[in-house]
Structure 1
Amino acid sequence: MWRRIHLILWFIGLMLACKSEIHSQDKVLKVKEIKYNGQVGLEQVSQLLEQHVELEHVDLINWDKFSYRPDVAFRIAHSNNAIWLKYYVKEKNILASVGDTNGPVARDSCVEFFLDPLGNGNYYNFEFNCIGTVHLAYGPGRGQRQFVDPNTIRNLIEVQSTLGSQTFTERTGDFTWEMTIIIPAEILTHNPEIKLKGLKSTANFYKCGDATSQRHYLTWNPVGTEKPDYHRPEFFGKLIFQ
């Protein structure tokens, strides 16, 4: 009996050690402030990010069953209480079947940015298919999401993709596309009057394609779940807005 208890305690200790090891790998990303006076458009944001911000990569395969790895990178900064984000993607299959705001864009060629502003487990899931259709909700987990109003999304978030904005069926080949995004802090509707400068938050960045011919699930920070699951704020990395 004591041997069985010892084995159980050893196994629990091993699981806790593995969990601790995963969390010790959490990335820390310092989000640079880019100072800019006046109105700024997507073209200028794209250029300023290129000039001032280093590339980060979304390249981790956490689930062996899904081994396809597109080439995915991003740059992120903040300015005048808005997040500037630019994705760079190279992949074999592109799909853009969803054109309605808050539709199931994760089925398409999709990039995602999950942000927990206060690091308290309540996060926003910003999801963008490759033509810039936005899906945005807030809450503490997958089953407890509150959609942000589509009109608010369309009025506040600016998106521009090199693939345009019209839906299309899957295309196969060698594709390269980029997407520039402006996310004003106003869109964080459950955190009114939040200031990005100096904010210490948690986040993760993703690439997926649930309905593409080569399903894939890449992450920036490691996710230690048995199956692909992006709605796990305990596996977010740290995001520090300078």
Structure 2
Amino acid sequence: MLKKRRSLLFFLFLIFASCNAQNEAPKELKVKEIITDKNVTLSQVSELLEEQTELHSINIINWDTFSYTPKADFRIAHANNQIWLKYYVTEENILAQVDTINGGVAGDSCVEFFFDPKADGNYYNFEFSCIGMPHLAYGPGRRARQFVDEEKIKEHIEITSSLGNEPFAERTGGHSWEMTIIIPASILNADEGIQLKGLKTRANFYKCGDRTSERHYLSWNAVGTETPDFHRPEYFGSLVFE
């Protein structure tokens, strides 16, 4: 009887926590500008982010069915009309099966950055597996996506992961990894000539793993849907580029 009562209390706690998160006001994040040389390397970007930016967490459980919570944090800044990102992840299992650009990397151990530059509901979904395999498309919703050309992605986006870039089957036993990414504004196909400095935009940051042994769907800003759905710009938070 006591065991059943505890299980019920835990279940009610999960529901309360989920509802509470979804009712929170949208988050706002100020994206710092870092002044530096134009030919900065990924290694230098990693160091500058460590030195000059704050750590933010991707830790909201929006759906109590998927309660597993890996530790996921990120740093963000902009420089030379580029977005700089660095992710830090600790999780029990890691998976990196997808070996093609614009493949289904969300099923692998994955981090994501959904970015709506004009705050008008048209957004880019930047998705990266734990080995840096990218997926990038643009549009107003899940079913209206236009993929960015693979060659353009390879040419413009720079990525490095502490796990390397070779695919692998699921590994268990606990793992930590980091990833640094440079996203130039030139990759934003539908927003040619856009300048990041001074821009007020909307975005969300995610951690997921749809095909991992412990499926999970975490967000930075709360998502108020009944089932997992990251393609919902109405639940994005605010980004202000200083």
TM-score exceeds 0.5: yes
Q: After the TM superposition, which of the residue ranges 36-45 and 205-214 deviates more from structure 2?
A: 36-45
The offset of 1:22, in angstroms, is: 4.6
TM-score, normalised via structure 1 length: 0.91
Q: Contact between 2:22 and 2:62, CA under 8 Å: does it hold in 1? A: no
Query: What letter matches 2:79 in structure 1?
Result: S
Q: Would you say 1:227 and 2:227 are equivalent positions?
A: yes
What RMSD over aligned residues (CA atoms) do the two structures have, in Å? Answer: 1.2
Shift of the 157–129 alpha-carbon distance from structure 1 to 2, 3 Å rule, reads same
Deviations 1:125-145 (A, max 9, x none): 000000000000000000000
TM-score, normalised via structure 2 length: 0.91
The offset of 1:160, in angstroms, is: 0.1
> Can you give the 5+ residue segments of structure 1 that lack an aligned partner in the other structure?
1-18
Q: Which residue of 2 aligns with 1:5?
A: none
The offset of 1:38, in angstroms, is: 3.3
Once residues 86 and 44 of structure 2 are traced to their aligned partners in structure 1, the CA distance between those partners, rounded to angstroms, is: 12
How many aligned positions are there? 223
| Equivalent position SS for 1:128 | strand
Which portions of structure 1, spanning 4 or more consecutive aligned residues, are displaced by more than 3 angstroms? 21-24
Once residues 173 and 155 of structure 1 are traced to their aligned partners in structure 2, the CA distance between those partners, rounded to angstroms, is: 35
1:1-242 equivalent positions in 2, closer than 5 A: 22=22, 25-242=25-242
Query: What letter matches 2:169 in structure 1?
Result: T
Shift of the 33–235 alpha-carbon distance from structure 1 to 2, 3 Å rule, reads same
Query: What letter matches 2:25 in structure 1?
Result: Q
Once residues 124 and 46 of structure 2 are traced to their aligned partners in structure 1, the CA distance between those partners, rounded to angstroms, is: 23
Q: Contact between 1:23 and 1:235, CA under 8 Å: does it hold in 2? A: no
Once residues 123 and 44 of structure 2 are traced to their aligned partners in structure 1, the CA distance between those partners, rounded to angstroms, is: 28
| Fraction of identical pairs, as percent | 63
The offset of 1:23, in angstroms, is: 6.5
Q: Contact between 2:223 and 2:235, CA under 8 Å: does it hold in 1? A: yes
Mark the structure with the bigger radius of gyration.
Answer: 1
| Equivalent position SS for 2:93 | strand
> Can you give the 5+ residue segments of structure 2 that lack an aligned partner in the other structure?
1-18
Q: Contact between 2:137 and 2:146, CA under 8 Å: does it hold in 1? A: yes
| Equivalent position SS for 1:173 | coil
